[in-house]
Amino acid sequence: MPTINLAGKTYEVDEDGFLQELDKWSEDFASAYAKEEGIDGALTDEHWKVINYLRDYYAKFGIAPMIRKLCKETGFDLKKIYELFPSGPAKGACKLAGLAKPTGCV
């Protein structure tokens, strides 16, 4: 299993860099990881709004929300989401939020 070093801590991740032990997630993890997903500088309130929403939804329902739901609940359209997370809601936002890797017919 590959590992990744972020801000002095080691995390187990899969080949795509998705966190394997979901309980190890912390805000530091997300902040330190942001650069890899093409985010310059510190995570803003807007980033956190998306990340927190994803984490809440995942905690409640055990899956990631549909994109449309994410946009509706955060008030960000898809264009804005990609401005915040250049690699997109699945590869970018879900990864930083420490959700399990999206699966299916990608």
Which helix H or strand E contains 4, and what residues bound it?
strand 3-6
Alpha helices in the chain (DSSP H): 27-33, 45-61, 67-74, 78-84, 88, 95-96
| Shortest separation between residue 76's beta carbon and another protein, angstroms | 12
The residue (of 9 and 72) whose beta carbon lies closer to another protein is 72
Long-range contacts formed by 55-59: CB under 8 A, 24+ apart: 55/25, 55/97, 55/98, 55/99, 58/97, 58/99
Among 33, 47, 74, 91, binds another protein (CB under 8 A): 91
Say whether residue 78 binds another protein (CB under 8 A): yes
Among 8, 23, 45, 105, binds another protein (CB under 8 A): 105
Our answer to whether residue 71 is catalytic in this structure is: no
| Shortest separation between residue 53's beta carbon and another protein, angstroms | 16
Q: List residues binding another protein (CB under 8 A).
A: 15-16, 18, 38, 63, 66-68, 71, 78-79, 82, 86-91, 95, 101-106
Active-site positions?
Answer: 105
